[in-house]
Amino acid sequence: MFNLKRHTALVTGAGQGVGAGIAKALAKQGAAVVVNDYYLERAQSTAREILATDGRAVAVQGDVTNLESIRKMVEAGRASFGAIDILVNNAGNAGVGAFVPTQFRDMPIKEWDKFIEINLYGVLHCVKVLLDELCDRGWGRIITITSGAYRVGNGMGISLYAAGKAGAVVSANNCPAK
């Protein structure tokens, strides 16, 4: 396996499910992990599990749909471990609200924003906050968790979720040559 002992990872939406699994896997490989969740208690739970296995972790509350919130959680991570050089954009789904599959034709327009804000803008905000320093240091990794839902139409009632994930896939996650 790979050794991440000299690296720090920020994993969004890491208080449960896939995000918690990613955070634990990175810690197992030696990374210090900044465990983010909208709900601090969930982030703390994942961080405690990492610490119980002699890993390094800190829990940070933050809302990836809010740029200032991301800046604060990144600063909290830096205060604990120094520079963050791995970003895992995992937060998604319907954000903090319930994901209720709804056919596009039946979904009120006012419901669209929650899917686009978390699945697209959440990714863009996190990348925006960290990209310059990753590029300037000449090393970093940005991993965006997405879904195959954006590739195929289906009748499940997840079209806005799929649209947000599609946007996240084509986001510019690289460092241009200077």
* Measured distance CA(50)–CA(85) in Å, rounded: 19
pLDDT at 22: 98
Q: Which of 47-51, 54-58, 121-125, 155-159 has the lowest mean pLDDT?
A: 155-159
One-letter amino acid identity for 113? D
Q: Are 32 and 98 in contact (CB under 8 A)?
A: no
pLDDT confidence bin for 1, thresholds 50/70/90? low
pLDDT at 149: 76
Catalytic choice (38, 121, 150, 161): 161
* Measured distance CA(61)–CA(86) in Å, rounded: 18
CATH superfamily ID and name for 8-92+121-147+165-169: NAD(P)-binding Rossmann-like Domain (3.40.50.720)
* pTM of the complete model: 0.92
pLDDT at 169: 81
Residue 89 corresponds to which tokens in the numbers above? 């954009």
pLDDT confidence bin for 2, thresholds 50/70/90? confident
Residue 138 corresponds to which tokens in the numbers above? 């000449």
How many Cα atoms are found within 13 Å in the side-chain-facing hemisphere of 84? 29
Question: For the chain, where are the alpha helices, taking DSSP H only?
Answer: 17-28, 40-52, 67-81, 112-116, 122-137, 159-169
Question: Which of 120, 126, 125 lies closest to 150, judged by CA?
Answer: 120
pLDDT at 166: 86
Residue 173, pLDDT above cutoff 60: no
pLDDT at 170: 66
pLDDT confidence bin for 126, thresholds 50/70/90? very high
3 state DSSP class of 111? helix
* Measured distance CA(130)–CA(71) in Å, rounded: 9
Model confidence pLDDT, tens digit, residues 34-93? 999 999 999 999 999 999 999 999 999 999 999 999 999 999 999 999 999 999 999 988
pLDDT at 136: 92
Q: Is 150 a catalytic residue?
A: no
* Measured distance CA(11)–CA(55) in Å, rounded: 15
* Measured distance CA(86)–CA(109) in Å, rounded: 35
Residue 105, pLDDT above cutoff 60: yes
pLDDT at 81: 98
Strands 141-144 and 86-89: parallel
pLDDT at 16: 95
